[in-house]
Amino acid sequence: MRKTVLDASAILAALFREPGAGVVETHYEAGIVSSVNLSEVAAKLSDRGMPGIKARELLSGLGLAIRPFDERLAYMAGALREATRSSGLSLGDRACLALGLAEGVPVVTVDRKWADISEAVGVEIILAR
């Protein structure tokens, strides 16, 4: 299985059994997630009433490799602002894309607005739904 970076939207779709969940789950084994996107997922689980320790156990059980959002990725994400502005991508979105660029691997998302930015940002986008 080739490595992929998973966006928060993809992880949440799988956890909540939304459309695309099965596709996302096939990427867990070699999946990578940015600490920024992990925080987004943990926040959504908290919003749904899941205690922090339970969320940590759940997310740790997915087996995803977690990469820190360091200075290099911060500048990469910032540089993606212009290419993603028209799509309205957030910092979390750009952190995910920056990690995909840095790792040289595709990014998995369920966010359809990413479909049109692949060429502009230089990252292969896999739409899970």
Measured in degrees and rounded to the nearest 5, phi and psi for residue 128 equal -80, -15
Which of 120, 112, 119, 19 lies closest to 79 in space, CA to CA?
120
Tell me the per-residue pLDDT of 53-99, one tens digit each, with 9 for 90 and over. 999 999 999 999 999 999 999 999 999 999 999 999 999 999 999 99
Question: Hey, what amino acid is at 57?
Answer: E
Tell me the per-residue pLDDT of 32-44, one tens digit each, with 9 for 90 and over. Answer: 999 999 999 999 9
- String of DSSP letters for 70-91: -HHHHHHHHHTHHHHGGGT--H
Query: Checking DSSP bridges between strand 65-67 and strand 4-6, what pairing results, if any?
Result: unpaired
Whether pLDDT at 1 is above 90: no
Q: What does the alpha-carbon distance between residue 1 and residue 22 come to, in Å, rounded to a whole number?
A: 15
Domains and CATH numbers, the chain: 4-127 (3.40.50.1010)
Percent of the chain with pLDDT over 90: 98
- The pLDDT score that the predictor gives to residue 65 is 98
Task: Name the strands in the sheet holding 125-127, side by side, starting at the edge strand that comes first in the sequence.
Answer: 65-67, 31-34, 4-6, 107-109, 125-127
Rounded percentage of the chain residues whose pLDDT exceeds 70: 100
